Amino acid sequence: MMNKILEIKNLSKFYQTNEKEIHVLDNININVFQNDFLGIIGPSGSGKSTILSIIANLEDYDLGSIIKKDNLKIGYMLQKDYLMPYLTILDNCLIGLKINKKCTKENIEKTKKMLIKYGLGKYINSYPDDLSGGQRQRAALIRTLVLDPDILLLDEPFSALDYQTRLNISKDIKNIIKEEKKTLIIVTHDINEAINMCNRIIVLSNTPAKIKSIYKIDEDNKDEMYLYKKIWSDLTND
């Protein structure tokens, strides 16, 4: 039986600005199950980041409801890695633990082990500038993972990277999140990235965003070309 950990029901959201009201999200319904790799794809400005901010409690909403499993721990990783340039990779990865007063000996060991396991062992005492974009992204993910979230929210995490790096790191990050047995919601406007990483893709329409289509993807048997064409046509035809 699939274990539902998050349910977004009939969600609508308006932003108020001085001049006008913007209707951003219109009756969005999403179920998220444990170990899901859910992709949300949509045009720029369609409200993708807003959905993640609402899930993370950083933004409120106007209509509908959000039901979370008790004590659901959420990890949010932004588009830019925001590693502190003057802290070592280890210290960067400990920031969240320090803020949460959980920087115990065990957790420091766990962080080091994770850095080693995921190929950053020799950079533990290096600074972010010594790492490639992909490695920095991996460090940022580890910083989020050591807090042991149930669900990870990634907001266009690879958009600052070049195409080849993006392809490699997206596979890399997917494998790490799988290995750690987490649930993922990733927002992107990159169709290939969504197809590579997700078992389900939700396509949003232009604003006010509705759910335009949902694709279930069988990892062992996916027709990438077919999916690409379908999603492309969803994004380009209103």
- Please report, as ranges, the residues that interact with ligand ADP according to CB under 6 A: 15, 17, 22, 24, 42, 44-50, 207
Task: Determine how β-strand 74-77 pairs with β-strand 151-155.
Answer: parallel
Residue 31 partner contact from Mg ion, ligand ADP, none using kind-dependent CB cut-offs of 5 to 8 Å: none
φ/ψ of residue 68, rounded to 5: -115, 145
Ranges assigned E (strand) in the chain: 4-16, 21-33, 37-41, 63-68, 74-77, 151-155, 183-188, 200-204, 211-216
Residue 236 partner contact from Mg ion, ligand ADP, none using kind-dependent CB cut-offs of 5 to 8 Å: none
- Nearer Cβ to ligand ADP (17/236): 17
Least distance CB 155 / Mg ion (angstroms): 6
214 neighbors 39 (Cβ within 8 angstroms): no
Residue 15 partner contact from ligand ADP, Mg ion, none using kind-dependent CB cut-offs of 5 to 8 Å: ligand ADP
Is 49 a binder of Mg ion (CB under 5 A)? yes
One DSSP character per residue, 93-149 reads HHHHHHHTT---HHHHHHHHHHHHHTT-GGGTTS-GGGS-HHHHHHHHHHHHHTT--
Residue 126 partner contact from ligand ADP, Mg ion, none using kind-dependent CB cut-offs of 5 to 8 Å: none
Least distance CB 104 / ligand ADP (angstroms): 36
- Nearer Cβ to ligand ADP (54/90): 54
Interface residues with Mg ion (CB under 5 A)?
49
